[in-house]
Amino acid sequence: MDDAFRFIRACRREPVDRVPVWLMRQAGRYLPEYRELRKEHSIIEICHSPELAARVTLQPLERFDLDAAILFADILLPLEGFGIDFEFASGEGPVIANPIRSPEDIDALQGFDPERKLGYVGDAVREIREALAGRVPLIGFAAAPFTLASYMVEGGSSRRYLYVKSLMYTHPQAWERLMRVVREVTRDYLAAQIEAGAQAVQLFDSWAGCLSPVDYRDFVLPHSSWVLEGLNAYGVPRIHFGTDTATLLGAMKEAGGEVIGVDWRIPIDQARRVIGPDFAVQGNLDPAALFAPKPALAARVNEILSAADAMRGFIFNLGHGVWPETPPDAVQTVVETVHAFQTPSDRRAGA
């Protein structure tokens, strides 16, 4: 049945009847029904409850004709298995109580079995798959090793990346040890999601854009490649996405996978030329464009589709996640515009 999903077919660069679309953070903060749920439950409580995580995952599919569901979870959940305490501070994002700052901290870090310690995620995957009943495929995900390690070191969000870069430059051997522990957990975590029923996975390298191409190749590329290669035997599409990575796309494709995700900071046709014909491409509307008037938003979507050679190995998405203030009607406009897209040859043929 998976082969019938246009999202899966596009990931494999196979012919599709229309361009598939899903949106990062399509489940959650901008939906009134999610906000109602959050009045009673914290983010972590929702993540820990397979029933609630499944409910939130399915909420956008009840509103919009999306071509894939993405598991509702948080990229920091693996920190629980490492024994690293964190919370979501109001207006500040995640705050980590005991960040890793020294080689000694890294030496004390122990890996773990995600299927055992994060078993509620697999339970949510199984519950979502049952509820979807073959309607659309389910995407699992994890933070890439660099992004997860950066949170562990910085202690939360960062603008200067002082602690993580200092650790990389000053203690490269300790950094290597940290990345080896994190990458193994990341691979096993994604594998557990696939075994539970995820039909594609996305590796989020949200912090990779802070690096120069040289540093990315030296400190990150081998570890992301190790994770993606370790999932190859499962045969599901693997999406590799990073934020602010226009200068890193050539290196990111070397890490492997089937799909490269692109943010809005590079024109999609230019990104496709850099990535080349052997990969599908996903992206790349600026999330802020969803605040434009409907005609302007539809025009932006069509510009990307026209430039992207969209009927050939392309998945429409945002260049990052949906903002909490986004009007749901704007998401509807995006989905309708993508599905109505026709190539010039289609229009001439009266398709």
Residues with catalytic roles: 25, 29, 38, 74, 151
3-class secondary structure for the chain? CHHHCHHHHHHCCCCCCCCCECCCCCCCCCCHHHHHHHCCCCHHHHHHCHHHHHHHHHHHHHHCCCCCEECCCCCCCHHHHHCCCEEEECCCEEEECCCCCCHHHHHCCCCCCHHHHCHHHHHHHHHHHHHHCCCCCEEEEEECHHHHHHHHHHCECCCCCHHHHHHHHHCHHHHHHHHHHHHHHHHHHHHHHHHHCCCEEEEEECCHHHCCHHHHHHHCHHHHHHHHHHCHHHCCCEEEEECCCCCCHHHHHHCCCCEEECCCCCCHHHHHHHHCCCCEEEEEECHHHHHCCHHHHHHHHHHHHHHCCCCCCEEEEECCCCCCCCCHHHHHHHHHHHHHCCCHHHHHHCC
